[in-house]
């Protein structure tokens, strides 16, 4: 009996305990039900907001896709037009470069020919300069010889004039001597002289010494006779008479002074030298005329050389202009090639940016779908757990865990929204940059 009472008390205590636990479970159930309702309502609101965001993002994504497609087609058209224009310009510049290269080759050939002709002209000019210097030296020497010949001819003319004057004086003196001898002979025959015989003989000898050079036959014999002082006066007079007759019988002054001319042979030789100098002067004048003609021809060749040098300078200037034009065309072609490369690089960057943007959009859509699936899964779990909640005593840790899980899901959603908002801002900025471009 006591055991039964004790068991009854224990059972009543257990019943009270169970009733208390049941009341607590009811309270926990009502509280968890309220929390679940609140969480469900909040999740529904979040789901609605997420659906709205998804619809907005899908519409924005569709608009961006359409815009990107339109812009891509427009950019492709522009790129194709730009590429075709650049290809045409590159082809035109390559043709122009080929033409310029051909012209440059022709100009280089002309330049080589002009250089060869200029070298030959320089050689000819140097040869003509040497010949001109030689001719000028010969001309200077000839002028010096002419001046010397003129001086010598003037001296010879003066000597000839002096000789002519001496010959005229000798002729006059010879005629005076013949008259003097005739008068002396007549005076000796008629009257006697008032002088001594020795004085008269000496005077006659001096006269014979003066007259003997004028005769050709008496040069050798009469000198020995004059030197003999023992000869008598009559023989001296006969000799003087013979000399006078010889002088008087001479027909020309050249025959009278032949002996004198023989003594003056050197002076007569100067006349032939003067004639030779005159001939040399004439020859030098002819050579001077020839040298002047050669000098004129050299001057004409110098004009030809100057014209060739002028043509050479013009060809060099033309070649420099062609080289400058070629360099300018090469620079233009290089700039166009750089522009073409920049356009290709820009196209590649745009294509890479488009691929990256599409990948980012796909990742964003996958994240949205994953978050939506995560939001739908907690709604299914409470429905399955409500059937066993009456038989299990819920603990405070479970409720707190559910609150923490709901709070963490809410925070993750908020963080995801926060992480997605910069992405939307980045898309808007990229869109604005594309519009600005």
For 143-156, what is each residue's pLDDT tens digit?
A: 787 677 677 767 76
Range with the poorest average pLDDT among 65-79, 205-219, 388-402: 388-402
pTM to 2 decimals? 0.29
| pLDDT of 182 | 56
For residue 241, pLDDT beyond 80: no
- pLDDT higher for 359 or 177? 359
| pLDDT of 253 | 46
Secondary structure, 3-state, the chain: CHHHHHHHHHHHHHHHHHHHHHHHHHHHHHHHHHHHHHHHHHHHHHHHHHHHHHHHHHHHHHHHHHHHHHHHHHHHHHHHHHHHHHHHHHHHHHHHHHHHHHHHHHHHHHHHHHHHHHHHHHHHHHHHHHHHHHHHHHHHHHHHHHHHHHHHHHHHHHHHHHHHHHHHHHHHHHHHHHHHHHHHHHHHHHCCCCCCHHHHHHHHHHHHHHHHHHCCCCCCHHHHHHHCCCCCHHHHHHHHHHHHHHHHHCCCHHHHCHHHHHHCHHHHHHHHHHHHHHHHHHHHHHHHHHHHHHHHHHHHHHHHHHHHHHHHHHHHHHHHHHHHHHHHHHHHHHHHHHHHHHHHHHHHHHHHHHHHHHHHHHHHHHHHHHHHHHHHHHHHHHHHHHHHCCCCCCCHHHHHHHHHHHHHHHHHHHHHHHHHHHHHHHHHHHHHHHHHC
Please state, rounded to an integer, the average pLDDT across all residues of the chain.
Answer: 69
| pLDDT of 396 | 41
- What is d(CA 48, CA 125) in angstroms, rounded to the nearest whole number? 106
For 353-381, what is each residue's pLDDT tens digit?
A: 888 888 888 888 888 888 878 887 766 55
Reported as a pLDDT band with limits 50, 70 and 90, residue 408 is very low
In the chain, where are the structural domains located?
148-269
For 46-77, what is each residue's pLDDT tens digit?
A: 888 878 887 887 788 888 878 877 776 766 77
| pLDDT of 425 | 56
For 318-336, what is each residue's pLDDT tens digit?
A: 778 877 877 887 788 788 7
For residue 176, pLDDT beyond 60: no
| pLDDT of 234 | 64
Range with the poorest average pLDDT among 4-18, 243-257, 358-372, 416-430: 416-430
| pLDDT of 246 | 66
């Amino acid at each position: 009996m006591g055991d039964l009472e004790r068991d009854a008390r224990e059972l009543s205590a257990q019943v009270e305990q169970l009733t208390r636990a049941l009341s607590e479970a009811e309270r926990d159930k009502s509280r968890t039900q309220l929390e679940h309702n609140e969480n469900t309502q909040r999740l529904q609101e979040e789901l609605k907001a997420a659906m709205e965001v998804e619809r907005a993002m899908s519409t924005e994504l569709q608009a961006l896709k359409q815009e990107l497609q339109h812009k891509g087609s427009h950019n492709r058209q522009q790129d194709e037009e730009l590429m075709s224009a650049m290809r045409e310009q590159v082809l035109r510049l390559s043709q122009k470069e080929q033409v310029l290269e051909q012209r440059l080759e022709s100009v280089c050939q002309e330049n080589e020919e002009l250089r060869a002709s200029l070298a030959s002209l320089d050689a000819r000019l140097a040869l003509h300069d040497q010949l001109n210097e030689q001719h000028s030296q010969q001309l200077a020497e000839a002028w010096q010889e002419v001046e010397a010949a003129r001086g010598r001819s003037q001296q010879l003319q003066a000597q000839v004039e002096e000789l002519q004057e001496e010959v005229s004086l000798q002729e006059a003196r010879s005629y005076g001597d013949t008259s003097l001898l005739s008068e002396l002979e007549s005076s000796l025959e008629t009257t006697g002289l008032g002088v001594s015989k020795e004085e008269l003989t000496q005077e006659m000898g001096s006269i014979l010494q003066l007259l003997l050079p004028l005769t050709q036959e008496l040069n050798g014999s009469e000198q020995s006779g004059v030197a003999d002082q023992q000869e008598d006066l009559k023989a001296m007079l006969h000799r003087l008479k013979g000399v006078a007759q010889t002088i008087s019988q001479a027909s020309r002054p050249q025959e009278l002074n032949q002996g004198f001319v023989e003594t003056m042979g050197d002076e007569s030789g100067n006349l032939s030298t003067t004639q030779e100098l005159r001939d040399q002067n004439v020859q030098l004048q002819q050579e001077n005329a020839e040298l002047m003609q050669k000098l004129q021809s050299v001057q004409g060749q110098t004009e030809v050389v100057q014209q060739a040098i002028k043509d050479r300078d013009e060809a060099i200037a033309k070649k420099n202009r062609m080289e400058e034009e070629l360099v300018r065309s090469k620079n233009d072609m290089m700039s166009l090639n750089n522009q073409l490369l920049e356009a290709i690089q820009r196209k590649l960057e745009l294509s890479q940016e488009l691929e990256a943007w599409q990948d980012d959009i796909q990742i964003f859509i996958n994240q949205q779908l994953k978050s939506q699936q995560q939001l739908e899964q907690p709604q299914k779990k409470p429905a399955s757990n409500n059937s066993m909640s009456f038989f299990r005593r819920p603990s405070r840790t479970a409720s707190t865990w559910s609150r923490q899980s709901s709070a963490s899901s809410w925070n993750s959603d908020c963080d995801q929204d926060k992480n997605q908002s910069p992405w939307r801002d980045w898309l808007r900025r990229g869109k604005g940059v594309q519009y600005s471009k």
